[in-house]
Amino acid sequence: MVEDDALLADGLMRSLRQADYTADWTADGEEAESILRVQEFDLVILDLTLPHMDGLEILRLLRSRKAPIAVLIITARSEVDDRIKGLDLGADDYLTKPFEMGEFDARVRALLRRSRAHGLKVLSCGPLTLDIAARRAFLNDRPLDLPRREFHLLEVLMSRRGRIISKDQIFDSISDFHDEMNPSTVEIYIHRIRKKLEATDVTIRTVRGVGYTLE
């Protein structure tokens, strides 16, 4: 979320988190550009009028790197030319302020469904299956209860199966900017998931001093 109206951003962030998304927020254009260069996201919700860097410039730079990320523009600029420019630069959708929260939620869901349709929708490792679009997990074809962070942690490991993922990489994937978490918290979530998988041949292996890998 890149939005300099703190009141609006707070409301939208609450809605996203209630829908079980991991969401981050910044109000500064230059900070957003710096973050987008080093972190991966599924969706950017982007205001156009921002301090230090305009939203259209952020979008132009994002698309120049060919980043496969959905972009929803939200802005008070209602002129047709602005909308056309944003879409031509590579935005996937456009909402003009003020808008209804229900419409915002629906646009977010639609964009995430569309972006995930271009990648893997279901991840599997032995008896463990993650349905990414539906946010559901199954173990031996039975529903597996996974809170949001445990689900995201397994998604990271399963999508990069066979590779070693560092604790910091996992932490970045499951935490929000303002969480009172630290990288050592990852060990707690790893322990919880291992307990749920202990009766199977699916293992999260610790590579000492490096990270974790799913086998």
What per-residue string of b and e applies to 2-25 under the rule 16 or more CB within 10 Å gives b? bbbeeeebeebbebbeeeebbbbb
pLDDT tens for 33-53 read 999 988 888 899 999 989 999
Average pLDDT, the chain: 86
Do the domain assignments include residue 74?
yes
Domain end marker among 117, 148, 181:
117
pTM: 0.61
Phi and psi dihedrals of 73, rounded to 5?
-85, 130
Query: What is the residue-wise DSSP string for 163-204?
Result: S-B-HHHHHHHH--TT-S--TTHHHHHHHHHHHHHTTSS--E
Tell me the CATH number at 40.
Answer: 3.40.50.2300
pLDDT tens for 113-162 read 776 655 556 788 999 998 876 778 999 989 999 988 888 899 889 888 87
Residue 100's domain spans which residues? Answer: 6-117
Do the domain assignments include residue 15?
yes
Domain end marker among 74, 96, 117:
117
pLDDT-derived band at 6 (thresholds 50, 70, 90) equals very high
